[in-house]
Amino acid sequence: MKKTLYYSHPDFLLHDTGVGHPECAARLKAIEAALSTPEFTGLIRLSAPLGSEQQIQLIHPHAHVEQIFSAIPQHGENYLDDDTIVSPGSKNAALRAVGAVCDAVDKIMSNQANNAFCAIRPPGHHAEPNQAMGFCLFNNIAIAAEYARRHYHLKRIAIVDFDVHHGNGTQAAFYNQPCVLYASSHEMPHYPGTGYPTETGVGNIINVPLTHGESGQSVRQKYINIIFPALHHFKPELLLISAGFDAHKDDPLSSTLLIEDDFRWLTQELMSIADSHCQGRIISALEGGYHLPALAASVAAHVKTLLQN
């Protein structure tokens, strides 16, 4: 029987970003509530382990890691930039976010489960190798990709990023690495200002800009025309997802018009591609999504689909 893993931990709630910050602990509380209903009893619920600094250093240099950790205060908050904040609980939250995705790689690659969803924070896809930014400290999904590449000697890893913001950090980590395909759909013009179609790396970067007010049907067509064919051509041995749900029509940080069913469809199509090329192996890690009811409903649609593997 195929299994879906679900990673969480109370430490994620202790990464305190301050009053009114969109990337807050209430996001995970909303997700936990949505996934507490009987239809999710099939999830294998796991406590996210503490990752290691060695795992973080697969993407981020030692000096940078030490700089981030040294910025974490004993009391109150510290601003790494205008919107990236650390608090006393941030170190363990960041370590468990990395630990969750790396443990998921181990379990998926050893056939203990088919796919996984990691309900983690802080998110990661804006974190560049030498720069924390955009609510992100370390690039969880990039670390997972490099961990899988080195520990399981994979030659082709695909990352699909459907967060409404471009994953500049993930792109930067693998811009010259042909063994990792990075495909992103994201609103433009929008933060962080990267993600033009002309940014192609060594042919391994696929950027699909979305416009203000773009509909779910239009987004689906772009995936059908551009991203799905690229994935089939690449034939990944492992599929990773930067699962941001802020392209939802109700999200305060975007203007695209996706609904829960678009995330369900996208998940289903990615699962079909993974079934074709990598024995269904998918690891999904939470990125954005800042309207609590929309986030909860969208994650529920995503995870419910993963459960139907």
Q: Which residues are catalytic?
A: 126
Task: Please count the other Cβ atoms lying within 10 Å of the Cβ belonging to residue 255.
Answer: 16
Q: Are 142 and 124 in contact (CB under 8 A)?
A: yes
Cα 209 to Cα 164, 188, 193, distances in angstroms: 9, 6, 11
Task: Please count the other Cβ atoms lying within 10 Å of the Cβ belonging to residue 21.
Answer: 15
Q: Using CA atoms, how far apart are residues 39 and 35, in angstroms rounded to an integer?
A: 8
Q: Using CA atoms, how far apart are residues 77 and 187, in angstroms rounded to an integer?
A: 30
Q: Which helix (H) or strand (E) holds 206?
A: strand 205-210
Q: What is the dihedral of CA 234, 238, 239, 241, to 10 degrees?
A: -140
Q: How would DSSP label each residue in 168-205?
A: HHHHHHHTT-TTEEEEEEEESS-TTS---TT--TTTTE
Q: Using CA atoms, how far apart are residues 261 and 258, in angstroms rounded to an integer?
A: 8
Q: Are 210 and 127 in contact (CB under 8 A)?
A: no
Of 139, 135, 37, the residue nearest 81 (C-alpha): 135
Q: Are 6 and 116 in contact (CB under 8 A)?
A: yes
